[in-house]
Amino acid sequence: MTSPDVVLRTATADDFEPVATMLGVVFHHTQDPAVLAVERPLVDPARGLVAVDGDTIVGHAAAFERDMAVPGGVALPCAHVTGVGVLPTHRRQGILRRLMEQQLRDVAAAGREPIAALWASETAIYPRFGYGAAGARIRFQADLTSTGLPAPAPGRLRAGPPDTLRPELVKVYDEVRVRRPGWSSRDEHWWTYLLSDVASERDGATERQAVVHEGTDGTVDGFALWRVKNEWNRGGPAAEVRVDEVVAAGPEAYRALWRFLFSLDLTRELSYSFATPDEPLLHLVAEPRRLGATAGDGLWVRLVDVPGALRARAYSAPLDAVIKLTDAILPANAGRWRLTTDGARTTCERTTEDADLVCDVLELGAAYLGGTSLAALGRAGRVHEARPGALAAADTAFHWHQAPGGAEVF
Ligand SMILES: CC(=O)SCCNC(=O)CCNC(=O)[C@H](O)C(C)(C)COP(=O)(O)OP(=O)(O)OC[C@H]1O[C@@H](n2cnc3c(N)ncnc32)[C@H](O)[C@@H]1OP(=O)(O)O
């Protein structure tokens, strides 16, 4: 069933509150005016699409304009897709499909962002629009009584309210982020939003705390943001350390910060939701099994401009391959592309040569940040190898030595 009475239009500044109310219904939560106050400066109405039935906003999808780090230390403009929802009364009538297709066509026509990315509420939703699961998100629920402590590290720790330490947090984050595929740029509005610490969002835990690490030369080279959910039971103290972020420029800062977080008195558990499959912490504790790691999907990536995106990133090995693509929504991406790289310098041109690999744009989005294996997609029957050896070569080239992750959900 389709909904002919529903029309799509670009959002305006006046839509902010009705959209927020609609998203409250869609995501089952009551909007807190204090949260809306810090979210409003993030929103550029021109990047929002609303679906309207008469006077009622019944659907919405938007994008933030931010850069995303991709392999090779490159900060690439990326449509950070967000706020997707359709009212329960209007579901399964094709409104999401219309929003997603329009949004992708708009991003492609604007020509600024070769990729789009999102965090999915449900994994079944986005493949049909060409988004591929670009990496795993590891959550830790660590038992601090048995995991063991990371070894001591040189340097000094300095704690304080996050707002006071903000210039140092910004400096470290900006130094680190381009080397971390999947990490996004943060302008001043993002920092204000991320550090806002609205009481209704604390889930009974303390205010957010910050600690910075100074190396032996006095340079600030890492920080952590965390809070504690206090708890006492019959056995005594049983609080949980809830870690929001650990950002470290080097191994000493990383070890010192995690040792600190693992050593807080009166705590027995630690949770952290943004680890990667290659998280160094797995190699720093005596009982990594007791970190309680569970894996789920992380960022989803969609190539909007295939040659632009493939040229923008670096590769782990030389490659010369013809890739034949399908793309049901953006036909300019479909067809055969010859991708040639020595690792750093890359060309990607249309070709009439025979294909070495055949897949959908979704599979290249999945592999784009270097975390999802093209060979595994081949074994799943989702990438077809037309020339023997082409899949192994492409898998090696697309893989990256730092697994992708995201610093926050947007
Ligand atoms: C980046 C983000 O913001 S992620 C957040 C996504 N939003 C939510 O999860 C909020 C709750 N859910 C919703 O608001 C809606 O159910 C939406 C937005 C997920 C789907 O909206 P709808 O307008 O019902 O989707 P629409 O009718 O266009 O469906 C498009 C296709 O996706 C499928 N689909 C839609 N939602 C889902 C779902 N939750 N799970 C599986 N498939 C789905 C439909 O079956 C349809 O398939 P088809 O193309 O093969 O026919």
Query: What is the β-pairing status of strands 6-10 and 335-341?
Result: unpaired
The mean pLDDT value of the chain amounts to: 97
Q: Considering the domain delimited by 305-398, tell me its CATH architecture.
A: 2-Layer Sandwich (3.30)
Which residues have CB under 8 Å from 339's CB, separation 6+? 310, 319, 320, 321, 322, 323, 346, 347, 348
DSSP symbols for 5-58: TEEEEE--GGGHHHHHHHHHHHTT-PPPHHHHHHHGGG--GGGEEEEEETTEEE
Domains 6-113 and 305-398 share a fold: no
Annotated binding-site residue? 92: yes
List, for residues 189-222, the tens digit of each pLDDT value.
999 999 999 999 999 999 999 999 999 999 999 9
Q: Is the CB of 289 under 6 A from ligand 1?
A: no
Q: Which of 126, 140, 223, 315 is catalytic?
A: 126
Top CATH class of 6-113 equals alpha beta
Clarify whether 126 is annotated catalytic. yes
Q: Which of 129, 272, 398, 410 is catalytic?
A: 410
In sequence order, the β-bridge partners of residue 296 are 137
CA of 96 relative to ligand 1 center, distance in Å: 6
Q: DSSP string covering 294-354, please? A: EEEE-EEEEESSHHHHHHHS--SS-EEEEEEEE-SS-GGG-EEEEEEESSSSEEEEE--SP
Q: Is 402 exposed, middle or buried (0-12, 13-18, 19+ CB in 10 A)?
A: middle
Render pLDDT for 245-283 as a digit per residue (tens, 0 to 9): 999 999 999 999 999 999 999 999 999 999 999 999 999
pLDDT digits (tens, 9 = 90+) for 83-131: 999 999 999 999 999 999 999 999 999 999 999 999 999 999 999 999 9
Which class is domain 138-297?
Answer: alpha beta
Q: Is 410 an active-site residue?
A: yes
Q: How far does residue 296's CA lie from ligand 1's centre (Å)?
A: 19
The pLDDT value given to residue 291: 98
Residue 408 CB neighbours (<10 A): 15
Q: What are the sequence ranges of the domains in the chain?
A: 6-113, 138-297, 305-398
Provide the pLDDT for residue 1: 62
The predicted structure's pLDDT at residue 7: 97
- Asked if residue 29 has its Cβ within 6 Å of ligand 1, the reply is no
Confidence class of residue 4 from pLDDT cuts 50, 70 and 90? confident
373 Cβ neighbours under 8 A, 6+ residues apart: 367, 395, 399
Q: Whose CA is nearest to atom 33 of ligand 1?
A: 125
Dump pLDDT digits (tens) for 41-80. Answer: 999 999 999 999 999 999 999 999 999 999 999 999 999 9
Report the largest interatomic distance among the alpha carbons of the chain, rounded to a whole angstrom: 72
ipTM above 0.85, yes or no: yes
Evaluate: CB of 125 within 6 angstroms of ligand 1. Answer: yes
Q: Residue 118 C-alpha to ligand 1 middle, in angstroms?
A: 14
Q: What is the pLDDT of residue 152?
A: 97
